[in-house]
């Protein structure tokens, strides 16, 4: 009996793998036409085992995905984002998907630290295309001999996120990095005023400033004074009247703005959840605490630091510090202005952080199970599936979420709720999840319409 059972499972699996392989072939053809395919908000990895795992997780027949994908290939769709899982769930056909608009936009990464390199990885992981965001250059401070090779090496290998998915080499003659066959100019400059981007064939560019050196209109305006620059996106909270944008919440307010901020990683992590909770139950007030991975602005060993406590050794201490994330939420959700306080604790882990929301509501949220059911439905909705994920595993720990492109992972097992009060725990990869949101804001600024 057991032998027959084994053979039955084996035959079923072999048939599923054959179907998944055909699906991957169809997805590759779509990718070549700038059609990005996801499955209930998850990017579909071109691996038979991973494709089948996604389908098993959501209870969808892989044959249904293959049929829709092949119809899309036959229809000739270009410049689109299609969620196969949601499409199948809604009973959609290829005819329901229209063409998009994604004219090429030159992108410059000003600064090549943690966020800059993750952004480069995300952009260069996409199939080569003449449409959409085109990474043309990175700008770094003047450095000594061997710097180009070091920059390429840091892109290729990463202690947290592992090896670059593809190939990386350098072109010393032209001072550039070649990633997945595409040339990226490396420009050395101490200030934006030194750069003429048009000399490198770059024009009407979107500059993504990862340095955090300038946070107001006067400072970031230096980029706009550089020849060849059209718009600027800051990967940090902005000062003054610059909009702090959390994609999915207030990205529609960007309009024709030439300078925009993508806020902070923590603001991006908590704002989508706060938005859905406020819309459903009405947030009266509350407190946000982030247990945050240590960052490069802290010291490895005890030493002088301009900020209180951050001078103490980051790998050895939990360090109390401040965060502007709670107050920054009000720039995306004005109704919450003055309703949230916030603090932060830096801890000795290199990546993935945890935001704790302790909130009072106008309406009753019910029990923890009822609140969890609400958040699960939110996470599975087409509107929020790219931003919010849902975890109900009793074994979940921070390293489980390294590399997650969801900006927030709601931990259902930790929820505490009663009446009008609730405490919720939200994990987030403060590097990858945030960078994914930055790319979405960049596409909005560039006028990319999938």
Under the banding of pLDDT at 50, 70 and 90, the label for residue 430 is: very high
Q: Does the structure show a pLDDT above 80 at 96?
A: yes
Closest by CA position to 69, among listed 50, 82, 51, 52 = 82
Q: For 30-55, what is the mean pLDDT?
A: 85
Percentage above 70 pLDDT, the chain: 98
Q: What is the pLDDT of residues 325-372, one digit of tens each?
A: 888 899 899 999 999 999 999 999 999 999 999 999 999 999 999 999
Nearest to 89, CA basis, from 22, 40, 160, 161: 40
Backbone angles phi, psi at 289, to 5 degrees: -120, 130
Query: In 160-239, where do the E strands start and end?
Result: 162-163, 168-171, 176-179, 182-188, 205-209, 229-234
pTM assigned to the model: 0.91
Confidence of residue 80 (pLDDT cuts 50, 70, 90): confident
* pLDDT of 143: 86
CB 271 within 8 A of CB 335: no
Distance CA(438)–CA(45), nearest Å, equals: 21
pLDDT of residue 101: 65
Per-chain mean pLDDT for the chain? 92
Beta bridge partners of 405: none
Cα dist. 222→115, 192, 257, 263 in Å?
A: 21, 6, 15, 20
Specify the DSSP class assigned to residue 55.
Answer: H
pLDDT, tens digit (0-9, with 9 covering 90-100), for 238-249 = 988 899 999 999
Q: How confident is the model at residue 434 (pLDDT cuts 50, 70, 90)?
A: very high
Closest by CA position to 329, among listed 411, 280, 267, 396: 267
* Active-site annotation, residues: 265
Sign of the Cα torsion 156, 189, 242, 202 reads negative
Q: Which of 38-42, 64-68, 175-179 has the lowest mean pLDDT?
A: 38-42
Out of 122-131, 135-144, 184-193, 197-206, pick the least confident. 122-131
Q: Region 387-416: what's the mean pLDDT? A: 96
Q: What percent of the chain shows pLDDT beyond 90?
A: 74
Distance, in Å, from the CA atom of 335 to the CA atom of 170, rounded to the nearest integer, reads 50
**How high is the pLDDT of residue 415?**
98
* C-alpha closest to that of 235 among 402, 34, 434: 434
Calculate mean pLDDT across residues 2-20. 86
**pLDDT band, residue 46 (cuts 50/70/90):** confident
Q: Using alpha carbons, select from 192, 196, 295 the residue that is nearest to residue 236.
A: 295
Residue-wise DSSP of 305-330: -SSTTTTS-TTT--EEE---HHHHHH
Q: Residue 2 — pLDDT band, cuts 50, 70, 90?
A: low
**pLDDT above 80 for 77:** no
- Non-local CB neighbours of 218 within 8 Å, separated by 6+ positions: none
Q: Per-residue pLDDT for 424 more than 60?
A: yes
pLDDT digits (tens, 9 = 90+) for 13-24: 899 999 999 999
Confidence check: pLDDT of 97 > 90: no
* 265 — pLDDT class (breaks 50, 70, 90): very high
* Structural domains in the chain plus CATH codes: 3-96 (no CATH), 104-236 (3.40.50.720), 265-430 (3.30.360.10)
426 DSSP β-pair partners:
355, 410
pLDDT at 35 over 70: yes
């Amino acid at each position: 009996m057991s032998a027959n059972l084994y053979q039955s499972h084996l035959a079923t699996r072999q048939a599923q793998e054959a179907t998944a392989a055909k699906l991957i072939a169809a997805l590759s053809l779509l990718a070549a036409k700038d059609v990005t395919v996801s499955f209930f908000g998850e990017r579909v990895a071109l691996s038979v085992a991973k494709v089948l795992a996604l389908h098993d997780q959501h209870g969808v027949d892989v044959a249904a995905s293959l049929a829709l994908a092949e119809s899309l290939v036959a229809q000739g769709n270009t410049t689109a984002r299609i969620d196969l899982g949601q499409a199948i769930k809604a009973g959609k056909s290829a005819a329901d998907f229209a063409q998009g608009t994604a004219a090429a936009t030159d992108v410059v990464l000003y600064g090549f630290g943690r966020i800059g390199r993750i952004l480069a990885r995300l952009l260069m992981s996409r199939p080569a295309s003449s449409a959409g965001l085109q990474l043309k250059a990175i700008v770094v401070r003047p450095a000594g001999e061997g710097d180009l090779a070091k920059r390429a090496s840091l892109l290729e290998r990463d202690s947290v996120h592992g090896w670059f998915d593809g190939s990386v080499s350098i072109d010393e003659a032209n001072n550039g990095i070649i990633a997945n066959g595409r040339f990226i100019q490396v420009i050395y400059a101490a200030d934006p005023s030194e750069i003429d981007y048009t000399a490198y064939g770059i024009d009407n560019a979107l500059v993504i400033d990862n340095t955090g050196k300038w946070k107001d209109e006067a400072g970031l305006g230096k980029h706009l004074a550089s020849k060849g620059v059209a718009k600027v996106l800051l990967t940090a909270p902005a000062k003054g009247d610059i909009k702090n944008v959390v994609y999915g919440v207030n990205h529609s307010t960007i309009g024709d703005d030439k300078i925009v901020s993508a806020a902070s990683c923590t603001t991006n992590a908590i704002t989508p959840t706060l938005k859905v909770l406020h819309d459903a139950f009405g947030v009266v007030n509350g407190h946000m605490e982030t247990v945050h991975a240590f960052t490069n602005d802290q010291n490895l060993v005890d030493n002088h630091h301009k900020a209180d406590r951050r001078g103490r050794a980051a790998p050895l201490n939990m360090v109390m510090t401040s965060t502007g994330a709670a107050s920054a939420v009000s720039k995306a959700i004005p109704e919450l202005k003055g309703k949230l306080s916030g603090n932060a604790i830096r801890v000795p882990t290199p990546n993935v952080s945890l935001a704790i929301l302790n909130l009072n509501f106008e309406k009753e949220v019910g029990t923890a199970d009822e609140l969890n059911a609400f958040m699960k439905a939110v996470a599975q909705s087409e509107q929020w599936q790219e931003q919010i994920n849902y975890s109900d595993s009793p074994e979940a720990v921070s390293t489980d979420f390294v590399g997650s492109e969801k900006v927030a992972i709601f931990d259902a097992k930790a929820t505490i709720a009663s009446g009008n009060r609730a405490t919720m725990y939200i994990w987030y990869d403060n590097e990858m999840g945030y960078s994914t949101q930055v790319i979405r804001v960049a596409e909005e600024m560039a006028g990319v319409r999938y």
